[in-house]
Amino acid sequence: MSQVVTETEANNPLVIKLQNGQVLHVESNEATDADEIPVIDVSGIYSDKLEDRQAVADKIREAAHRIGFFYVINHGFDPRLAEGVFEQAKRFFALPLDKKLEVDTNLVPKEYVGYHAISSYNRNGRKHNDLSEAFNLAYSAEQDPENPENDAGTSIWPSDLPGFREGLYAYHTPMLAFARKMTRIFALALHLPETYFDEWIKTPEAGMRILHYPEQQATVDDQNGIGAHTDFECFTIVNQDMSGGLEVLSKSGRWIRANPVPNSFVVNIADCFMRQTNDYFVSTVHRVINKSGHERYSIPFFYGLDRRMTMEPIPSCISEDNPSKYLVMTAGEYYLWRAKKAKQGDEGDE
């Protein structure tokens, strides 16, 4: 529900106004360490036994409902693929600004692809703009072994950075396979048949982002690396370097550090899953503050269902006593609305 922000609140660094109009009050802008974000061994998702996959799903169900964030370990993903993307990110962000602006996101007004220049956004109305820059790529059917279509998608690419596109898709393609497998685990977590979403993951919403954060000199009250926000899609899989900086807002209004766990991914629930599960899954507010003393890089992979899918509420998440809370629309309608708001500077991704 939208709330009115008074003039006093608008200047209060402990008040956060999100893109959807929700107003949050936090106890402090300083983050703390806590054990609220679970670490889940997901090796069981590769088991031939349903009970092994269900055991992982049950742990994910608890985490997705309680906090909406969790680490996954033993995910079977080759860490060298991430190392390659981090190297490509450093190559791209080291380019002169005029070269990066050749793929400026504003060249594709309706899609969240291309280069987002440093300090372009101020998501929470801080004194200084958010201190980060990003490059986004979109799902490409021609890069998807499970999709026979010859469609390159909507991404735009720098013309004189050999190996950049290939290096990013070398990570994106196996991550897409992992996300599809995780979608089946999420179905089990919602007490649905494992194949419940299969029709809608043939052509998914599967964007990826590389992010660069210079070291932040301003105070936490005055600037963020990326301001407080929630993500668009169903879930996000984040590969972060060891710099730290990702922070999660707990239900009690405390910022909690999502400190890096070696060889893990951070998975967070995003707004489409929150809507479809009628708020049973929590799309948790998060931000980045880079006070590490050096540059930070991260690789979020944003996964959602086919844009043509109508986001009807999940049957196991509604009842006579708990009716649906959200207007039904297609996933594409919701995504494009959120992307437009984000490019206006109201939102971001970690």
Instruction: Fill in the amino acid letter for 113.
Output: V
pLDDT class of 16 with cuts at 50, 70, 90? confident
Each residue of 169-202: pLDDT tens digit?
A: 999 999 999 999 999 999 999 999 999 999 999 9
When the pLDDT of each residue in the chain is averaged and rounded to a whole number, the result is 91
Distance CA 157, CA 165 (A): 7
What domain range is 277 assigned to?
36-343
* Residue 8 within a domain: no
Please tell me the predicted confidence (pLDDT) of residue 124.
82
Beta strand 255-257 pairing with 205-213 = unpaired
Angle value at C-alpha 66, between 63 and 67, nearest 5 degrees: 80
Is residue 65's pLDDT more than 50? yes
Q: For residues 198-222, give the mean pLDDT.
A: 95
The total number of structural domains that make up the chain? 1
pLDDT class of 28 with cuts at 50, 70, 90? confident
* Residue 306 within a domain: yes
> From the CA atom positions of the chain, what is the Rg in Å?
19
* Residue 7 within a domain: no
Is residue 12's pLDDT more than 80? no
* Residue 277 within a domain: yes
Is residue 5's pLDDT more than 50? no
Q: Are 150 and 168 in contact (CB under 8 A)?
A: no
Strand partners, 288: 226, 246
Q: For residues 148-164, give the mean pLDDT.
A: 93
Neighbours of 279 (CB within 10 A): 14
Please tell me the predicted confidence (pLDDT) of residue 341.
76
Q: For residues 95-102, give the mean pLDDT.
A: 96
* Those residues with Cβ within 8 angstroms of residue 344's Cβ, 6 or more apart along the chain or in another chain: none
Is residue 6's pLDDT more than 50? no
Residue 325: CATH number of its domain: 2.60.120.330
* Residue 5 within a domain: no
* Residue 315 within a domain: yes
Q: For residues 306-324, give the mean pLDDT.
A: 93
Please tell me the predicted confidence (pLDDT) of residue 21.
63
Q: For residues 6-15, give the mean pLDDT.
A: 61
51-60 own/partner pairs: CB under 8 Å, 24+ apart: 53/184, 53/185, 53/188, 53/194, 54/188, 56/185, 57/185, 57/186, 57/188, 57/189, 58/189, 60/185, 60/186, 60/189
Please tell me the predicted confidence (pLDDT) of residue 2.
33
C-alpha closest to that of 348 among 229, 258, 238: 229
Is residue 345's pLDDT more than 60? no
* Residue 20 within a domain: no
Q: Tell me the pTM.
A: 0.92
pLDDT class of 10 with cuts at 50, 70, 90? low
Distance CA 164, CA 169 (A): 9
Is residue 212's pLDDT more than 70? yes
